[in-house]
Amino acid sequence: MPEFSFGQQLHDAITAHGPLCVGIDPHPFLLHEWGLPDSPSGVRDFGLRVVEAAVGRVAIVKPQVAFFERHGSSGYAALETVMNAARAAGILVIADAKRGDVGSTLSAYAQAWLTPGSALEADAMTVSAFQGVGSLESAVALATEHGKGLFVLAATSNPEAAAVQKATLRPGLQNAPTVASSIVAEVIALNAASAGDHGSFGVVLGATVALSDYGISLDALAAHPSTPILAPGFGHQGAAFAEIPQRFGRAACVIVSASRSILSAGPSGVDAAMDLAAKEIAECLA
User: What is the C-alpha radius of gyration for the chain, rounded to an integer number of angstroms?
Assistant: 18
| Distance from C-alpha of 68 to C-alpha of 27, rounded to nearest angstrom | 10
Catalytic residues: 98
In 3D, which of 206, 213, 269 has the Cα closest to residue 233? Answer: 206
Residue 62 near residue 94, CB atoms below 8 Å: yes
CB of 18 within 8 A of CB of 30?
no
* Residues 205-224 as b or e (16 or more Cβ within 10 Å = b): bbbbbebeebbbebebbeeb
Neighbouring CB atoms inside 10 A of 127's CB total 27
The DSSP symbol for 176 reads P
Torsion angle, CA of 59/254/273/150, rounded to 10 degrees?
Answer: 50
